[in-house]
Amino acid sequence: MEFFRNPNIDFLGKKWYFLAFSLVFSVAGILSMLFWHGIPLGVDFRGGTLVYVKFSHAPEDNAIRAAMDRAGLHNARIQTYGPPGNNEVLIDLAEQETSEQSLDKGKTQIINALESNAPAGKQDLNNASSLTLYNYLLDKDPLHAGTDANQRYTAQAQAIVDYRDKSRGGVLGSIDELKGAADPAVVASLSDGFYVSDFGVRNVEIVGPQVGAQLRKQALLATLYSLAGMLIYLGLRFEWIYGVAAVVTVFHDTLITVGAFSLRDYPISLTVIAAILTLIGYSNNDTIVVFDRIRENIKLMRRESLSEIVNRSINQTLSRTILTAGLTFLTVLALFLFGGEVLHGFSFALVIGILIGTYSSIAIAAPILVAYQDWRIKRGARAVIPGGGGKSSGDGKGGSKPGAGSGPGRVSKASVSR
Amino acid sequence: MNKNLGWKLALIIATLLVFVYGIFGIPQSFSKDGLLSAVTKNIHLGLDLKGGTHLILQVQVNDAVNVDSDNAVERLKEDLRSKKINYGEIIKPDPANHPDEIVIKGVPPESSSDLRSIISDRLPEYDGTSGADNSWTITMKPQSLADLKNRAVEQAIETIRNRIDQLGVSEPIIQEHGLGDYQILVQLPGVDDPARVKEIMQSTAMLEIRQALGGPYPSEQVALQEHGGVLPPDAVLMRGKSTGDEGDQWYLISRASAVTGRDLRDARPSTDDTGQPAVGFNLTGEGGKKFYAFTSAHVKDQLAIVLDNRVQSVATIEEPIRDSGIIRGHFTAQEVKDQSMVLRSGALPAGIKYLEERTVGPSLGSDSIRAGVQAAAVGMIAVLVFMLVYYHGAGINADVALILNLIILLGFLGFSGATLTLPGIAGVILTVGMGVDSNVLIFERIREELRNGKTPPSAVEQGFSHAWVTIVDTHVTTIVSAFILFMFGTGPVKGFAVTLTFGLLANLFTAVFVSRVIFDWILSRKQRGEALSIG
């Protein structure tokens, strides 16, 4: 079975279509970043408090907002998190509420506000740690345990917490649900000291302003080092113009990916940066494969023009390119569909990145090589990359217009139709 | 050729077994539970998969410097007095930003050389320069300052580790973090309620026993009034621990302490004479002597137990006490346990401030594992099936290499003790996709050579040798990317970089060596001219 038997597509000829396509997406992204959603930064980079709360019923926005207002948190952003069936909500306090004097003040305020209708003297079973349970059980001693009270109650407390977290997603509907999980006497004794609220805190992220600034700097440095590394490596392995072409390609890919996040208004977190760095690596790989083939063909095809060589190289590697992209995309798609909400930003970046990264090796990197060659030849300079049509080396000014087509009498195997 | 093949196959089987051992160790039983527990013992899960708390704290090193410079000021005063050198005043102009800076005003010029020798003899870590108006500025030498700050961080790490050890958190991570900002990273797996742990870590736990000279007063002003508006030179006003409805009480406490936390040998939960929870403490030999001397000299006076610069309790000295005592207060049983533990662990050299806090609940952790494994399974199966359909016989080759790749990758994780995080699982999935690229490169080349008329053995040879260069190129560039991610990333991102790197290294082995061996083996069993099943 084979998808591409001897393909013969004139990629370079379509370069204006490619350029238009890229421009549309780049400009849309840039406009969004400048004027619409800006670059949405995750809490890692802007600092702030995020509390992820799961409810035992469909969360009511108004009730939550009212609770936040009562706590004085008027700037809290409340959004649904994940698929609606999860009943999960993300409460986002801007960085003003997150000062290093008391880093977790915002979080405590949120939890207190949500617990506002707690019966006096009772603790929330949905947000109790196993230690709290253990201390309570030790005190109450429902099993009349003797010397091994410590172990038994530790085990009971852990069993209750495990059941709540692993089987019920962290939120119990009522104390009765614990009937199968722990000793009946233990379960019966809980109602004296605990009540069951309608929410459980799943995840908390609090990033102070100092760390936010640090992480921003680190992300920037990592990206710059990556790009620099690429430039140097490619400059050494090939010629420097190859390095430049690769960097421009990668820049294009990153721009479109970040633009996609801006259009969607989806926050860019640390893991998203990791995904972007990965797709830089992937796009680079792709570009290298094409460049390797171009270099090989330049040695073999001494009489064809550069654009013919490039076209042929792309066609020869097309099968591999599409296959690899397809297979990697399959895995990334699996991640996007099944990987859960926490990885969503990461997998989204990769989905876009793989598609654009593959496209750009063909549509951006290769034409840059040829365009540069043409530009140099037009300016009368010597052909830097061999294969420049009529031998223009040394002759310089006013030479025949080479590079674009084949000279008379030359039968290119890759005869392309314009 | 066949002999070599035998060795090569044996090498591959051996590798397989070694890395399977890395994943499972030697499992107790071969049941599903036995295998699962063997895996979880060998492969460490990150906080985002296990649930737990991640904290970044900053040691307020200026506190430690202030303590040192305060001591320096006291020594200076003593020496200036004993050498009968006059001076105007000694102040620290900016304790917040320049905690090591001391200024002496009004030093007569004839005392300059005496002062200089005092500084070089008694304050060796400091340098003094004379300034205008007979004033001298004394600052710490830069190296000494840096050393002091770094020592404060090291000590803080030790103290925090002591406290967390006593809490019984399994496999905590406490280490210096970042570059030069005096930050400490603390990771506590399984701790889903960080409030108590944070309090325990943050408590400075400075215990002192001083003489109580007066009080309780309802406010600072009343206290001042009782002493004619001026405090005695060797006393300070200190707040007492408020007991809720009584409001704050103020006490007049001596500046010097009879006994400090350094003299503490042990602290443990106990009860006071009314049966309420209290903290009982024992002093060391040295401390006991000091305490005995102090209490003997002050029978019928009052002593105050000061904890973290707050008066904890005041008691009358009935008779000389040798080396043990009780700290009474309105404690709960849990508070008494925590306080004893904190006292035992020693005092923090400086305050700590929290910069970052992340808590992953265990419910999210197990959901993440489920989602990650699901995605990995789906992705893997999709790729395996595709390779079979597209490359037929050679697809089996690729699939075997892929599965071996996964085993080696997980085995690497088991051996190296590296942590598997959620992005790490994503890294595994990505490795599958990118790893199979090597096979695609080779197979496509082989197909091309076959199309150009080469024989199967020759085509295989050509395929591998041509693709080798590109494979190395792509793997090296991605590993360099992963390396940069590892340097600049935090926990979860580091995990991703690690699995990506391991996966690519494993891939170099499987895609090139293992695939080649399998091809050679298949070719050795074919007749001359028989076609190669490569789709």
Query: Is the CATH number of domain A12-41+208-378 3.40.190.10?
Result: no
Report the SS3 class of residue B328: coil
Q: Can you give the pLDDT at residue B55?
A: 93
Interface contact A288-B493, CB threshold 8 A? no
The pLDDT of residue A119 is above 50: yes
Check if the beta carbon of residue A392 is closer than 8 Å to that of residue A377. Answer: yes
The pLDDT of residue A404 is above 50: no
pLDDT band for position A408 (cuts 50, 70, 90): very low
Structural element, H or E, at residue B526: none
State how far the Cα of B131 lies from the Cα of B342, in Å rounded to an integer: 45
pLDDT tens per residue, range A271-297:
999 899 888 888 888 888 888 888 888
**Amino acid found at B134:** N
Rg from Cα positions in chain B: 35
Residue B239: both structure tokens together: 């707040």
Q: Can you give the pLDDT at residue B375?
A: 92
| CA distances (Å), origin B374, targets A68, A217, A290, B2, B20 | 36, 35, 34, 41, 21
**Average of per-residue pLDDT across A129-151:** 82
Q: Can you give the pLDDT at residue A95?
A: 66
| CA distances (Å), origin A283, targets A236, A250, A279, A325, B178 | 18, 7, 6, 10, 30
Q: Is B362 on the interface with A (CB under 8 A)?
A: yes
Residue A70: both structure tokens together: 């009562």
Residue B269: both structure tokens together: 């939960």
Partner residue opposite B488 with nearest CB, options A222, A328, A331: A222
pLDDT band for position A130 (cuts 50, 70, 90): confident
Check if the beta carbon of residue B469 is closer than 8 Å to that of residue A292. Answer: yes
State how far the Cα of A253 lies from the Cα of B450, in Å rounded to an integer: 36
Residue B274: both structure tokens together: 């009314």
pLDDT band for position A384 (cuts 50, 70, 90): low
Q: What is the pTM of this model?
A: 0.80
**Strand order across the beta sheet in which A77-80 lies:** A77-80, A88-93, A48-55, A199-207, B352-360, B52-59, B183-189, B173-177
Domains annotated on chain B, with CATH:
2-51+361-524 (1.20.1640.10), 61-145 (3.30.1240), 150-355 (3.30.1360.200)
pLDDT band for position A347 (cuts 50, 70, 90): very high
Mean pLDDT in chain A? Answer: 82
Q: Can you give the pLDDT at residue A69?
A: 87
Residue A414: both structure tokens together: 């890759």
The vertex-B403 CA angle with B400 and B407, nearest 5°, equals 135
State how far the Cα of B361 lies from the Cα of B54, in Å rounded to an integer: 12
Q: Can you give the pLDDT at residue B207?
A: 80
Cβ neighbours around A154 below 10 Å, total: 17
Residue A75: both structure tokens together: 């700037």
Partner residue opposite A343 with nearest CB, options B334, B426, B481: B426
Report the SS3 class of residue B218: coil
Q: Can you give the pLDDT at residue B174?
A: 92
Better-scored residue on pLDDT, B255 or A257: A257
The pLDDT of residue A397 is above 50: no
State how far the Cα of A237 lies from the Cα of B127, in Å rounded to an integer: 56
Pairing status of strand B250-260 against strand B352-360: unpaired
Residue owning tokens 């992480």: A215
State how far the Cα of B392 lies from the Cα of B389, in Å rounded to an integer: 6
Q: Is B179 on the interface with A (CB under 8 A)?
A: no
pLDDT tens per residue, range B43-97:
888 888 888 999 999 999 988 888 788 878 877 887 888 888 888 888 888 888 8
**Average of per-residue pLDDT across A127-147:** 82
Interface subset of B 494-533, CB within 8 angstroms of A: 496-497, 500
Following CA atoms A346, A351, A355, A360 in sequence, which dihedral angle do they give, to the nearest 10 degrees?
-10
How do the domains of chain A map onto residue ranges? 12-41+208-378, 48-207
**Strand order across the beta sheet in which B89-91 lies:** B89-91, B102-105, B136-140, B126-130
Following CA atoms B34, B38, B43, B46 in sequence, which dihedral angle do they give, to the nearest 10 degrees?
50
Q: Can you give the pLDDT at residue A1?
A: 67
Check if the beta carbon of residue B114 is closer than 8 Å to that of residue B85. Answer: yes
Check if the beta carbon of residue B499 is closer than 8 Å to that of residue B479. Answer: no
Residue owning tokens 């325990």: B200
Question: How far is B226 from chain A, CA to nearest CA, in Å?
Answer: 36
Residue owning tokens 């002493």: B227
pLDDT band for position A256 (cuts 50, 70, 90): very high
Contact list in A for residue B378 (CB cut-off 8 A) is: 334, 337-338
Q: Can you give the pLDDT at residue A272?
A: 92
**Average of per-residue pLDDT across A139-164:** 84
Structural element, H or E, at residue B490: none
Predicted confidence pLDDT, tens digits, chain B (535 residues): 566 888 888 888 898 888 888 888 777 777 777 777 778 778 888 888 888 999 999 999 988 888 788 878 877 887 888 888 888 888 888 888 888 888 888 888 888 888 888 888 888 888 888 888 888 888 899 998 998 898 889 888 988 888 888 787 878 899 998 777 899 999 998 887 788 888 888 887 778 888 888 778 887 788 778 777 777 766 777 777 655 555 677 888 877 777 877 788 888 888 887 888 888 888 888 888 888 888 888 888 888 888 777 887 787 887 788 878 887 777 788 888 888 888 877 778 888 889 999 999 888 888 888 899 999 999 999 999 999 998 888 888 889 889 999 999 989 888 888 888 888 888 888 888 878 888 888 888 888 888 888 888 888 888 888 888 888 878 888 888 888 888 887 778 888 888 889 998 999 888 888 888 888 888 888 777 677 777 7
**Spatial CB neighbours of A2, under 8 Å, sequence gap ≥ 6:** A319, B390, B447, B535
The vertex-B40 CA angle with B34 and B41, nearest 5°, equals 90
Residue B83: both structure tokens together: 């050498």
Choosing among B429, B469, B475, which should be mutated to test the A contact, i.e. which has the most A CBs within 10 A? B429
Q: Can you give the pLDDT at residue A390?
A: 37
| CA distances (Å), origin B277, targets A108, A132, B59 | 28, 18, 32
**Length of chain B as a residue count:** 535
Q: Report chain B's terminal Cα–Cα distance, integer Å.
A: 26
What number of CA atoms fall less than 13 Å from residue B126's CA on the CB side? 28
Report the SS3 class of residue B44: strand
Cβ neighbours around A241 below 10 Å, total: 17
The ipTM, to two decimals, is 0.80
Choosing among A52, A161, A343, which should be mutated to test the B contact, i.e. which has the most B CBs within 10 A? A343
Q: What is the DSSP letter of A179?
A: G
Q: Can you give the pLDDT at residue B479?
A: 86
State how far the Cα of B66 lies from the Cα of B480, in Å rounded to an integer: 45
Choosing among B422, B430, B450, B533, which should be mutated to test the A contact, i.e. which has the most A CBs within 10 A? B430
Interface contact A1-B477, CB threshold 8 A? no
Pairing status of strand B126-130 against strand B250-260: unpaired
Check if the beta carbon of residue A254 is closer than 8 Å to that of residue A357. Answer: no
